Amino acid sequence: DISSVFNLGKPIDFAGVDDSTARWVQEFSIKPYANPAKLKSVDEPVCAVGRGVAALCCATEEQKWIFSGYSMTGPSVFELLRSAEFANLPLIVEDFVKDTGGSYTASIKVLDRHLVTGQNVQSTTAAVNNLILLCNNR
């Protein structure tokens, strides 16, 4: 079950917090958005960029991935291989998307229905601009 890879419904564990940021983390942790919510439908615009696209992998309903049939992008395998954390990644987004019925492309950004995805940090502006346009058209 891919949702076990993610921290759904549980408080976020902030690692490596020094004294200067401990207060901010404490204040943040009491906010309602500090606990990730489960994405159950794709009725609203959704935007994910870079490694954040992996969070979409746990969006299931009745054991089915809700983004099956969608086109999206995320970090390329080449980008991931260059990362020091590659060996510890719980999944490769490209493989997951293809294995569960989605379509993966190595584009800078992809817009499919209500879903906007960006390949990496450099895609953020393009992805957010598309999200804004999508929200304005609703």
Q: Regarding the domain with residue range 39-136, which homologous superfamily does it belong to in the CATH classification?
A: Class I glutamine amidotransferase (GATase) domain (3.40.50.880)
- The answer to whether the beta carbons of residues 104 and 70 sit under 8 Å apart is no
Run of H or E including 43: none
CA 104 – CA 93 distance, rounded (Å)? 9
**pTM over 0.85, yes/no:** no
List the domain boundaries for the chain.
1-37, 39-136
Q: How far apart are CA 84 and CA 90, in angstroms?
A: 14
Residue 98 near residue 77, CB atoms below 8 Å: no
Per-residue pLDDT of the chain (138 residues; tens, 9 = 90+): 444 444 445 555 556 667 777 777 677 667 665 555 555 555 688 999 998 999 898 888 888 889 999 999 999 888 899 988 888 888 899 999 999 999 999 888 999 999 999 999 999 999 999 999 988 887
